[in-house]
């Protein structure tokens, strides 16, 4: 399958410009606005693998840097800044990939900022949110405080979570997802950590675990369509 990769710049209103990458397979049927996690930007190897894997499944991916990552600042942006970056990315994705199913979300911090943005005001054209490891709480500090805003999201959500994820105690996440009823789906990746890496003793590779994640995401997107 032929895949086009475009280097872009996103203009964020009253904030500045950040880099972005659109990886678009021929005849893409969907586009995923893929926000990065707190500690690694859009060019991290894990982001490359996700975008490439989605392209193999006929889904485009628009990656972008949050301003703090673009400017090499250590601390993540304030939520309002992150939300503005996500809105800019969604607008560009909708313009460059017209007529396909548009979804948004991303890894950890990026996914949580996307859900916050959607809860405050719907992201135009976005049909669903997919989280690649929703960070329900800080490491070793179980809590559900970060989930409060999810009740205000009115579109379908997919939670892809490793069973060894230290940032999402499944004993807490399962009831959170259940309370969201039909609009939320939880898929547990057996043995996966926060990045879906698995231990050798699991009997499979981290690449196989990621393939499970991407297959599940692609099937869920197809149901949205």
Mean pLDDT calculated for residue range 203-218: 97
Mean per-residue pLDDT over the chain, rounded? 97
Q: Tokens 């405050």 appear where?
A: 120
- The predicted pLDDT at position 66 comes to 98
The alpha carbon of residue 106 and the mean position of all alpha carbons in its chain are separated, in whole angstroms, by 1
- pLDDT tens digits, one per residue of 60-82: 999 999 999 999 998 999 999 99
Query: Which two tokens mark 198?
Result: 């698995």
Q: Tokens 């060019």 appear where?
A: 43
CB 202 within 8 A of CB 192: no
- What is the C-alpha to C-alpha distance for residues 61 and 59, in angstroms, rounded to an integer? 7
- The predicted pLDDT at position 180 comes to 98
- pLDDT tens digits, one per residue of 39-63: 999 999 999 999 999 999 999 999 9
Own/partner contacts of 198-203, CB < 8 Å, gap of 24 or more, are 198/162
- What is the C-alpha to C-alpha distance for residues 216 and 225, in angstroms, rounded to an integer? 15
């Amino acid at each position: 399958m032929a895949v086009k990769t475009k280097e872009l710049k996103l203009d964020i209103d009253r904030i500045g410009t950040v880099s972005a990458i659109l990886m678009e397979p021929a005849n893409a049927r969907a586009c995923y606005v893929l926000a990065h996690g707190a500690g690694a930007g859009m060019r991290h190897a894990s982001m490359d693998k996700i975008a490439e894997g989605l392209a193999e499944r006929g889904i485009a991916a628009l990656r972008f840097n949050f301003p703090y990552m673009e400017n090499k600042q250590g601390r993540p942006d304030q939520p309002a800044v992150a939300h503005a970056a996500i809105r800019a990315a969604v607008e560009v994705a909708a313009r460059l990939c017209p007529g396909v199913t548009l979804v948004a979300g991303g890894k950890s911090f990026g996914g949580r900022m996307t859900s916050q943005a959607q809860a405050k005001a719907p992201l135009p054209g976005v049909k669903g949110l997919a989280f690649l490891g929703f960070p329900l709480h800080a490491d070793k500090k179980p809590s559900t405080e970060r989930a409060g805003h999810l009740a205000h999201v009115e579109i379908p959500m997919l939670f892809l979570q490793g069973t060894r994820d230290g940032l999402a105690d499944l004993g807490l996440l399962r009831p959170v997802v259940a309370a969201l009823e039909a609009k939320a789906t939880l898929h547990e990746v057996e043995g996966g950590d926060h990045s879906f890496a698995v231990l050798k003793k699991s009997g499979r590779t981290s690449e196989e675990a990621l393939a499970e994640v991407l297959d599940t995401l692609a099937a869920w997107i197809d149901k949205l369509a």
